[in-house]
Chain A
Amino acid sequence: MITLKNVTKVYDSQHAVIDVSFQVEAGELCTLIGPSGCGKSTLLRMLNRMIPTSEGEIAINNQKITDQDEVQLRRHIGYVIQNVGLFPHYTVEQNLAIVPKLLKKERSWIQQRSQEMMNLVHLPQSYLKKYPHELSGGQAQRVGVARALIADPPVLLMDEPFSAVDPQTRWNLQEAFLEIQRELKKTVIFVTHDIEEALALGDSIAIMKEGKLIQKATPQTLLLQPETPFVTEFIGYSFGVNLLAKFQVQDYYQPIASSPQFEYVSIPLQANLKQALAQMIQWGVDTLTVIDTRRQPCGMITFHQLQAVLQQVGENG
């Protein structure tokens, strides 16, 4: 759990971060977003004391970060940055071993963990012996994530980690990271400048502007209960449709018993609701037949259900 209370950063009388308070629960992935220069990276770097706080208090798991030695603090927080920052003179294996060695872990422990990490980020074991310059941008960032996770820190700070790669690679990295996050349930603060990435990854989204926190809430709340017009403007008109992509057909469809008649247009059970919407618009229908893996109809989903999903603020937000 990360708690920020009235956090402020002043540089030579310029306010970079102004009176920011919010909380990220254990296991929550919070994306931090805002226009460039809004102070989001500054705020992130204050969490592991890379930048000292001017005013206010930050606590991780109810421990004030200023009560701990800053070097020790950082060893227990995973840190992933945009340019990866792999040590070019170290192999992947040596890069992975940096934090465990600082924590005085045993060699055999490090070796075993390194192998587990390679599996986790879907890289072959043979890559342990490679040097960073032999890796593609996406592979390097996978190693970056593995390096941050190897010592199993409860908290992960990520500063635009996937923004330096091409869109396809970024999408793959996001998918892979979500899968890892579902398994490990870290408390994550993830800075991004891409609202689609913020939405795709975040359990909650914190929007900043000119050093201030405008709103921190679930995507549904941002959509239906924006605190200022800026929020609506910032998230954009397609936010709601993109939000549908986070929900799966299998969680919302009506099973076959209650829907005797079938439409001709179908959607697989594993699809998401955004894809279902696209199908409806494309074919001009408001009901789709849901088919299972054997391509047998097993239920249906309607346009009204999709609408209802976006209205469920009371329950989820």
Chain B
Amino acid sequence: MRKKIIGLATLISLLVIFLWNYQGIEQVLQAWLPTGSSIFVQRTELWTLFREHVQLVSITVGIALSVGIAIAISEEFDSTRQVRPLLQQLGTIFQSFPTVAIIALIVPLLGYGNRAVIIGVAIYGILPVMQNTLTGFEQVDPAVIDAAKGMGMNRWQQIWSVKFPLALPIILAGLRTAVIISISAVTIGAAAGSGGLGLPIILGLRSQNLVLILQGTIPIALMALIADQAFRLWEWRLHQR
């Protein structure tokens, strides 16, 4: 417990130091690494890029979370239970698609920009949330559901008071996957015209500027690690009860 919190705090402070002190870090890096041909690019401040990235991730994960759970809940009202295996299969197949492919497919439809990236990444994030919610609901002890129903809980009460809280650790694991996918997918989204920390990476690749690439990759890697650790901590806390 203690170790996990310390690890998480270290990661967060590293990210904060990187973002606040970038000027200094950049100077150190430039002394050691090739900066490539110095084409002039309009430089957005790193802090702004970070904020954009976080916004994009929050929006896509928000959509993924609400749609994923909504689909799983609506499946609870399907008494035939025939759609469930279909959804599960769809989820598995869809997840083997590369993210780039989905974004590439959506760009011609919606054009360049944030909208295409948000929708593409959200579709991608829906699946782990939906699958885990379905699995979580299925894993609730049937005796508990039977008792809940037999005591006179209606369907919503059964979902809200019983299934959802008991499935929460599994749903959180799905949410964690969605967040991490989203953090990396939004990076690729920069190629499709969205903002975020993917921007310096793409610029850096084009101009062979390793410092610029690191400007994007380091905070992204830290964000992914922080998200992973934070969710694991939360899941772990839930298991303790």
| A residues at B contact (CB < 8 Å) | 48, 50, 71-76, 79, 81-89, 98-99, 102, 131, 147, 157
Given A71, A73, A84, A89, which contacts B147 in the complex, CB threshold below 8 Å? Answer: A84
Contact indicator B165/A89 (Cβ below 8 Å): yes
A-B contact count (CB 8 A): 61
Query: When chains A and B are docked, how far (Å) is the Cα of A98 from the Cα of B162?
Result: 11
Given A75, A82, A83, A147, which contacts B152 in the complex, CB threshold below 8 Å? Answer: A75
Q: Enumerate B134-184 residues with CB–CB distance to A below 8 Å.
A: 141, 143-154, 157, 161-162, 165-166
| Chain B residues positioned under 8 Å from A76 (CB to CB) | 152
Contact indicator A85/B143 (Cβ below 8 Å): yes
Instruction: Give me 7 A-to-B residue pairs in the complex whose CB atoms sit less than 8 angstroms apart, sorted by A's number.
Output: A71-B154, A79-B150, A81-B147, A81-B150, A82-B143, A87-B147, A102-B151
Known A73-B152, A85-B146; 17 more pairs at CB < 8 Å: A50-B149, A71-B152, A71-B153, A71-B154, A74-B151, A74-B152, A81-B146, A81-B147, A82-B143, A84-B147, A85-B141, A85-B145, A85-B148, A86-B147, A87-B161, A87-B162, A88-B144
Q: Considering only CB atoms, which chain A residue lies closest to B144 in the complex?
A: A85
Contact indicator A81/B143 (Cβ below 8 Å): yes
Contact indicator A79/B165 (Cβ below 8 Å): no
Contact indicator A102/B241 (Cβ below 8 Å): no
Q: Enumerate B109-149 residues with CB–CB distance to A below 8 Å.
A: 141, 143-149
Query: When chains A and B are docked, how far (Å) is the Cα of A99 from the Cα of B147?
Result: 11
Contact indicator B152/A89 (Cβ below 8 Å): no
| Chain A residues positioned under 8 Å from B162 (CB to CB) | 87
Contact indicator B141/A99 (Cβ below 8 Å): no
A186 shortest CB reach to chain B, Å: 16
Q: Considering only CB atoms, which chain A residue lies closest to B166 in the complex?
A: A89
Query: When chains A and B are docked, how far (Å) is the Cα of A82 from the Cα of B143?
Result: 8
Contact indicator A88/B151 (Cβ below 8 Å): no
Contact indicator B151/A75 (Cβ below 8 Å): yes
Contact indicator A83/B143 (Cβ below 8 Å): yes
B127 shortest CB reach to chain A, Å: 27
Query: When chains A and B are docked, how far (Å) is the Cα of A75 from the Cα of B147?
Result: 11
| Chain B residues positioned under 8 Å from A72 (CB to CB) | 152
Map CB proximity to A onto B199-241 as digits: 1 under 8 Å, 0 otherwise: 0000000000000000000000000000000000000000001
| Chain A residues positioned under 8 Å from B146 (CB to CB) | 50, 81, 85
| Chain B residues positioned under 8 Å from A84 (CB to CB) | 143, 147
Query: When chains A and B are docked, how far (Å) is the Cα of A82 from the Cα of B150?
Result: 13
Query: When chains A and B are docked, how far (Å) is the Cα of A88 from the Cα of B145?
Result: 11
| Chain A residues positioned under 8 Å from B151 (CB to CB) | 74-75, 79, 98-99, 102, 147
| Chain A residues positioned under 8 Å from B166 (CB to CB) | 88-89
B151 shortest CB reach to chain A, Å: 5
| Chain A residues positioned under 8 Å from B150 (CB to CB) | 48, 50, 74, 79, 81, 85, 157
Query: When chains A and B are docked, how far (Å) is the Cα of A131 from the Cα of B157?
Result: 21
| Chain B residues positioned under 8 Å from A131 (CB to CB) | 241
Query: When chains A and B are docked, how far (Å) is the Cα of A89 from the Cα of B166?
Result: 7
| Chain B residues positioned under 8 Å from A89 (CB to CB) | 165-166, 241
A263 shortest CB reach to chain B, Å: 53
Q: Considering only CB atoms, which chain A residue lies closest to B149 in the complex?
A: A50
A264 shortest CB reach to chain B, Å: 54
A132 shortest CB reach to chain B, Å: 10
